[in-house]
């Protein structure tokens, strides 16, 4: 039997990159996956199509997480999608992957960018958990996507790193709070992964090689590298792990 058979999983920001990799992996393990997207409906539909063609089950959920009513919009769309499939309204797994980047250095920062990054990267995952607690199964799993950049000085994107630092402190707090229900809460911290988010850093072979050199394994990560670790954390094999941040950076700057 598949490891996640009978489970329902939510993956935010799942239309591309790491989120898509996670959604595809959890579907392959047997979960019904809610593929959340913010702006790219076509990309989300493509992720759903790929999952279904591989024999999995998935549906798209739309909500722009920077909006004030984002959580209401999200759960309304989730409920509708689950009802169409004769499931829900509960779920078993929440992967808070959606994130915005691009804050720049301190002298480049604007209040608008600061507010947007904290709304998407911090406020949305926190309130998705809060509003989802009466839906999340006892013994459920929450995985937050952090960043290896929080372990080193990263002035190139100061606000982005601040948001991921907030994720790192939120994770153990939620783990302790939700432990009586058997819910585990962990985070994973990728390094440089070959996705659209850092495509502007990989415009030449030399630039890609420079990013790869941050890993002692001397390559960029792939979405599958991250998805495999998330799949472990949401499985029963990880039942005794909670409140932890798992580094999945290929040895970032060791």
Tens-digit pLDDT profile for residues 151-174: 989 899 999 999 999 999 999 999
User: Which CATH superfamily, name and number, covers 8-193+223-248?
Assistant: NAD(P)-binding Rossmann-like Domain (3.40.50.720)
Query: What digits encode the pLDDT tens for the residues 93-145?
Result: 999 999 998 888 999 999 999 999 999 999 999 999 999 999 999 999 999 99
Could you state, in order of their start, the residue ranges of all structural domains in the chain?
8-193+223-248
Q: Of the ranges 167-171, 183-187, 200-204, which one carries the lowest mean pLDDT score?
A: 200-204
Question: In whole angstroms, what is the distance from residue 164 CA to residue 169 CA?
Answer: 9
pTM: 0.94
| Identified catalytic residue from 37, 75, 160, 192 | 160
In the chain, where do the E strands start and end? 8-11, 32-37, 57-62, 91-96, 136-145, 184-190, 245-248
Which residues are paired to 96 by β-bridges? Answer: 144
Among 63, 51, 46, 84, which Cα is nearest to 12's? 63
Tokens coding 26: 């959890």
Cα distance between the two ends of the chain = 39
At 45, is the secondary structure helix, strand, or coil? Answer: helix
User: Catalytic annotation on 160?
Assistant: yes
Residue 220 predicted with pLDDT over 70 = yes
């Amino acid at each position: 039997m598949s490891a996640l058979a009978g489970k329902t999983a939510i993956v935010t920001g799942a239309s591309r990159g790491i989120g898509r990799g996670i959604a595809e992996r959890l579907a392959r393990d047997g979960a019904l996956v809610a593929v959340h997207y913010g702006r790219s409906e076509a990309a989300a539909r493509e992720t759903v199509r790929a999952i279904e063609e591989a024999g999995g089950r998935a549906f798209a959920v739309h909500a722009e997480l920077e909006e004030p009513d984002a959580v209401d919009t999200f759960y309304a769309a989730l409920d509708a999608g689950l009802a169409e499939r004769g499931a829900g309204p509960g779920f078993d797994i929440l992967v808070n992957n959606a994130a915005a980047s691009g804050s720049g250095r301190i002298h480049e920062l604007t209040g608008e960018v600061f507010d947007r990054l904290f709304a998407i990267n911090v406020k949305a995952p926190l309130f998705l958990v809060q509003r989802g607690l009466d839906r999340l199964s006892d013994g459920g799993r929450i995985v937050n996507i952090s960043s290896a950049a929080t372990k080193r000085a990263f002035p190139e994107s100061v606000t982005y790193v601040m948001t991921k630092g907030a994720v790192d402190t939120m994770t153990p707090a939620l783990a302790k709070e939700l432990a009586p229900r058997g819910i585990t809460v962990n985070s994973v911290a990728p390094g440089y992964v070959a996705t659209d988010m850092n495509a502007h850093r990989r415009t030449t072979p030399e630039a890609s090689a420079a990013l790869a050199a941050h890993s002692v394994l001397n390559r960029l990560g792939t979405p599958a590298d991250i998805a495999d670790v998330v799949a472990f954390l949401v499985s029963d094999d990880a039942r005794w792990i909670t409140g932890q941040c798992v580094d999945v950076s290929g040895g970032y700057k060791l």
